[in-house]
C-alpha cells in the first residue's frame, strides 16, 4: 500500500494517509517552512472503556486503568522513555482522555531517533508487580491534586449532575481506592485488547517527508492481528440527575459550568452536526453575541466566558462556562435567552456572522501542528475527516442551524455546577 494524498482546494491544504500492512493507520501532514515536527500515536482506549468485550469475552477493569496504563508504558526493561528522549532533545508527553490515550513528542532535530523511541514505547509493555505497585503512590498524588483543582472539580461535578450511569461521570484517573485494584494482569489485558495496531493511529505534522516516516514504520512496526473489541455502556436516561451542584474551594471568583444534556445514542456526531452546533453557539453566546454583551453589562461574567460541545459514545452535552460573582443569576439570564432562542431561532445576520467566525478559526487552525495532529487522530477514531468541516461551513444553511437547535439546548434538561470560595 502507498500513501493516498488528501487535499482541499478551498484552503489549499493537503496531507497523506496510509493504511500500513501492520494494521496501523499513518497520517503525515507536511508543512512547508516548518523546521519542527510534532508526532503522536494514539489508541481508541480512554477512561470510559472500563467495561468491554474481547472476542466476545466480557471484561471489567477498575476505574482509572487507561490512565494508569499510559503512565506504565513509559517504562521498559531497558530504561525510561523520558530518559531516551532527553538524549534526542525531543519534548515528550502523553495524555488520557475519556475516549483515547495519546503519546506524543515534538522536536527540531533527530526526528528518526525520536519516532523510533515512540514506536518502541507502544510496542514494549513491561509490567511487574513491583513496578505497578510503585506507580500507585504517584498516581494517588495526582488524583488528590485534581481533587483540589477548581477547574477540574467544576467540570466533573457537572458530569455527575448530568449523567446517571455513563462512566464519563467518573474521574479519568479513577480514585485512590480503584487504582489500588490494578494489577499487571489487568494492564496486560487492556494492552492486548486495545493497543492493537488496527485500533491505533500515528500522526506526524511539520517539516517532514512522508516517505521518511514510511521507512521508519516499515523498519520498526511489528504487525498485529486484529482483535474484535466492543465497549459496553449502561443505559443512560435522557433526564439529568440534578439541576444544581455546588462545591466550596479556595477561588477568588466563583466558577460555573452550565451543561445541557442531549439524547446521545450510540454514535459520534457527524462533521456537519458539529459545524452546525459551532455556528449555533457562536451566534448565541459568542464574543459578538447579544447575550454575551448583556451578561457583561450586568457584570455577571468576565472575559473567562466560553462554550464547548462535549460528545462521544453515549454522551453529548453543550456547556457554557465562566466566572461570576452570581452564577445563579448568570444561569437564569442564559436560561431565559435559551427559551427565547427556541421560540425565535437564529437570525440570518447572526448566522452569517457566526459562520465567518467559525470558518476563520478553522483556517487559522491549519497553522498549529498539535491541533492538526489531534484533529487528524480524532477524525480516524470518529469517522470525521479533516476537511469535511471546511466543506460543511461552506454550504451549510440557516435552516440547518435552526433544525440542529431543535435537539440542543433543552432548558428543562440542564445542570448548573458551581465552585465558590470559602
Task: Name every residue whose Cβ is closer than 8 Å to that of residue 175 and which is 6 or more positions away in sequence.
Answer: 63, 64, 143
Length of the chain: 422
Helix axis angle for 398-405 and 348-364, nearest 10°, is 90
Q: Edge to edge, what strands does the sheet with 244-248 contain?
A: 244-248, 414-420, 255-261, 315-323, 306-312
Distance between CA atoms of residues 418 and 65, nearest Å: 29
Exposure string for 42-62, b = 16+ CB within 10 A, e = fewer: bbbbbbbbbebebeeeebebb
Distance between CA atoms of residues 259 and 415, nearest Å: 5
Q: Are strands 25-30 and 13-19 parallel, antiparallel or unpaired?
A: antiparallel
Q: Would you call 235 a catalytic residue per the annotation? A: no
Helix axis angle for 271-285 and 398-405, nearest 10°, is 90
* Cell reading at 381: 477514531
Task: Name every residue whose Cβ is closer than 8 Å to that of residue 261 and which is 6 or more positions away in sequence.
Answer: 162, 163, 238, 239, 240, 316, 317, 410, 413, 414, 415
For 131, the 3-state DSSP assignment is: helix
Q: Is-contact 342 401, C-beta < 8 A?
A: no
First to last CA, the chain: 61
Burial class (CB in 10 A: 0-12, 13-18, 19+), 136: middle
Distance between CA atoms of residues 199 and 321, nearest Å: 34
User: From the candidates 70, 236, 262, 273, which is the catalytic residue?
Assistant: 70
Best CA proximity match to 150, nearest among 322, 382, 330, 368 = 322
Q: Which residue has the cell 421560540?
A: 343
Across 240-313, where does the E strand assignment appear? 244-248, 255-261, 306-312
Residues with a catalytic annotation lie at 70
Amino acid at each position: 500500500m502507498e500513501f493516498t494524498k488528501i487535499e482541499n482546494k478551498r484552503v489549499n491544504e493537503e496531507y497523506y494517509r496510509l493504511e500500513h500492512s501492520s494494521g496501523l493507520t499513518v497520517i503525515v501532514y507536511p508543512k512547508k517552512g516548518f523546521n519542527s515536527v510534532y508526532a503522536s500515536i494514539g489508541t481508541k482506549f480512554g477512561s470510559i472503556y472500563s467495561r468491554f468485550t474481547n472476542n466476545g469475552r466480557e471484561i471489567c477493569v477498575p476505574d482509572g486503568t487507561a490512565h494508569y496504563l499510559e503512565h506504565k508504558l513509559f517504562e521498559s526493561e531497558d530504561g525510561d522513555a523520558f530518559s531516551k528522549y532527553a538524549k534526542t532533545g525531543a519534548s515528550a508527553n502523553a495524555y488520557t482522555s475519556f475516549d483515547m490515550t495519546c503519546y506524543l513528542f515534538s522536536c527540531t532535530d533527530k526526528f528518526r531517533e525520536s519516532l523510533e523511541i515512540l514506536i518502541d514505547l507502544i510496542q514494549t509493555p513491561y509490567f511487574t508487580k513491583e513496578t505497578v505497585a510503585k506507580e500507585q503512590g504517584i498516581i494517588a498524588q495526582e488524583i488528590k491534586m485534581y481533587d483540589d483543582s477548581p477547574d477540574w472539580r467544576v467540570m466533573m461535578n457537572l458530569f455527575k449532575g448530568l449523567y446517571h450511569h455513563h462512566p464519563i461521570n467518573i474521574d479519568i484517573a479513577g480514585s485512590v481506592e480503584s487504582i489500588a485494584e490494578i494489577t499487571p494482569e489487568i494492564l496486560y489485558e487492556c494492552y492486548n485488547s486495545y493497543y492493537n495496531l488496527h485500533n491505533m493511529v500515528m500522526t506526524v505534522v511539520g517539516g517532514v517527508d512522508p516517505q521518511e516516516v514510511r521507512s521508519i514504520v516499515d523498519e520498526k512496526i511489528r504487525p498485529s492481528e486484529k482483535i474484535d473489541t466492543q465497549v459496553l455502556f449502561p443505559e443512560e436516561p435522557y433526564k439529568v440527575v440534578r439541576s444544581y451542584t455546588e462545591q466550596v474551594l479556595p477561588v477568588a471568583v466563583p466558577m460555573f459550568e452550565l451543561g445541557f444534556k442531549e439524547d446521545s445514542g450510540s454514535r459520534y456526531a457527524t462533521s456537519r452536526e458539529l459545524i452546525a452546533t459551532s455556528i449555533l453557539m457562536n451566534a448565541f453566546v459568542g464574543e459578538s453575541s447579544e447575550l454575551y454583551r448583556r451578561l457583561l453589562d450586568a457584570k455577571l461574567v468576565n472575559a473567562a466566558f466560553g462554550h464547548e460541545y462535549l460528545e462521544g459514545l453515549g454522551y453529548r452535552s453543550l456547556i457554557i462556562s465562566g466566572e461570576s460573582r452570581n452564577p445563579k443569576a448568570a444561569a437564569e439570564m442564559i436560561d431565559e435567552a435559551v427559551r427565547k432562542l427556541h421560540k425565535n431561532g437564529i437570525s440570518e445576520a447572526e448566522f452569517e456572522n457566526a459562520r465567518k467566525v467559525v470558518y476563520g478559526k478553522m483556517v487559522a487552525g491549519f497553522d498549529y501542528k498539535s491541533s492538526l495532529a489531534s484533529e487528524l487522530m480524532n477524525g480516524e477514531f470518529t469517522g470525521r475527516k479533516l476537511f469535511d468541516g471546511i466543506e460543511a461551513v461552506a454550504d451549510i444553511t440557516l435552516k440547518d442551524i435552526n433544525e440542529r437547535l431543535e435537539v440542543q439546548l433543552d432548558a428543562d434538561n440542564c445542570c448548573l455546577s458551581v465552585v465558590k470560595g470559602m
